[in-house]
């Protein structure tokens, strides 16, 4: 059994401020160590549950936050970008299930450090009429490949908006959000213990999990943060302008939709 552990940082216990998620300061260095430790907790639980092979995907920002020399040696690490599958990089090797560790709620929500893919560029993302955050988008990508999400961790807002997408999954609430940058958190040690226990249960109960699938064709409706971003994105000939800050496009797969969104996110750096 092979498990992919996709690890973000905003949902990690103890993380509340932008300085903790951006390289170049001491608070980030502490937070990336907590992120690595939560990934290791998931590795430990997965192996206890019967997993035979584990890939850990660094899924935050530039995809090079996890500390390779701090990672459990029983796992292999997916680092760096660009990569076609983004936060699901590693699924191309053939995996049986996905853990989402340290995830966060979608943009315009009230969760800690809430955003969707690119906080500068994207306000809201809808797939076939359903508003989704990163967990929903990438969970649907995994589901398209026949792989279920069986464990997810993050704050209470993230869990509330995501639970219905992944029937049979295990959930760990690492903190309670009081706003974008405030709340009440478990200690890192308590969070790790909870993640290890949930990971073991998730692997043992794998057969109960159901992949989250969105049938093609895939229509993506994207609301941008500014009209200037919509101007820029609609230079892409296949994108249709709906209004000042809304555009849409249609693809034949979630993978194509994800690749388009990530390409638009990269384009947005032209306006920073």
CA nearest to 159, candidates 120, 194, 129: 194
Residues 93 and 159 in one domain: yes
Residues 137 and 62 in one domain: yes
Residues 248 and 173 in one domain: no
Residues 198 and 231 in one domain: no
Q: How far apart are CA 249 and CA 221, in angstroms?
A: 7
Residues 172 and 266 in one domain: no
Residue 152 lies in a domain: yes
Q: Are the CB atoms for 184 and 176 separated by under 8 Å?
A: yes
Residue 17 lies in a domain: yes
Distance of CA 270 to the CA centre of its chain: 24
- Please say whether the dihedral angle defined by the alpha carbons of residues 253, 249, 5 and 158, taken in this order, is positive or negative: negative
Over residues 98-145, the pLDDT tens digits come to 999 999 999 998 999 999 999 999 999 999 999 999 999 999 999 999
Residue 240 lies in a domain: yes
What is the structure's pLDDT at 247?
A: 98
Residue 124 lies in a domain: no
What is this structure's pTM? 0.97
Instruction: Tell me the pLDDT band of 37, cut-offs 50, 70 and 90.
Output: very high
Residue 146 lies in a domain: yes
What CATH number did the domain enclosing 112 receive?
Answer: 3.40.50.10780
Residues 54 and 176 in one domain: yes
Residue 73 lies in a domain: yes
Residues 11 and 138 in one domain: yes
- Does residue 246 have a pLDDT over 90? yes
Residues 74 and 96 in one domain: yes
- Does residue 29 have a pLDDT over 90? yes
Domain span at residue 16 reads 2-117+133-208
Question: What's the chain's Rg over C-alpha atoms?
Answer: 18
Residues 203 and 243 in one domain: no
- Does residue 25 have a pLDDT over 90? no
Over residues 194-208, the pLDDT tens digits come to 999 999 999 999 999
Q: How far apart are CA 188 and CA 66, in angstroms?
A: 16
Residue 93 lies in a domain: yes
Residues 72 and 173 in one domain: yes
Residues 74 and 109 in one domain: yes
- Residue where a domain terminates, one of 158, 190, 208: 208
Residue 89 lies in a domain: yes
């Amino acid at each position: 059994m092979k498990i992919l552990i996709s690890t973000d940082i905003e949902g990690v216990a103890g993380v509340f401020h932008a300085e903790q998620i951006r390289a170049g300061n001491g608070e980030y260095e502490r937070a990336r160590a907590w992120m690595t430790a939560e990934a290791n907790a998931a590795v430990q639980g997965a192996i206890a549950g019967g997993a035979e092979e584990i890939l850990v995907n660094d899924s935050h920002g530039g995809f090079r936050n996890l500390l390779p020399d701090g990672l459990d040696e029983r796992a292999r690490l997916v680092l760096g970008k660009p990569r076609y599958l983004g936060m699901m990089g590693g699924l191309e090797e053939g995996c049986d299930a996905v853990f989402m560790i340290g995830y966060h709620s979608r943009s315009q929500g009230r969760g800690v450090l809430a955003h969707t893919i690119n906080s500068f560029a994207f306000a809201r993302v809808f797939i076939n009429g359903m508003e989704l955050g990163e967990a929903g988008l990438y969970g649907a990508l995994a589901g398209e490949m026949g792989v279920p999400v069986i464990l997810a961790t993050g704050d209470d807002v993230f869990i509330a908006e995501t639970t219905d997408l992944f029937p049979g999954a295990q959930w760990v609430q690492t903190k309670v959000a009081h706003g974008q940058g405030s709340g009440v958190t478990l200690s890192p040690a308590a969070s790790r213990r909870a993640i290890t226990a949930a990971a073991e249960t998730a692997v043992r109960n794998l057969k109960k999990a159901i992949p989250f699938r969105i049938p093609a064709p895939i229509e993506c409706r994207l609301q941008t943060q500014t009209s200037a971003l919509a101007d820029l994105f609609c230079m892409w000939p296949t994108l249709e302008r709906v209004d000042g800050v809304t555009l849409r496009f249609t693809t034949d797969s979630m993978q194509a939709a994800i690749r388009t969104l990530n390409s638009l996110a990269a384009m947005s750096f032209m306006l920073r």
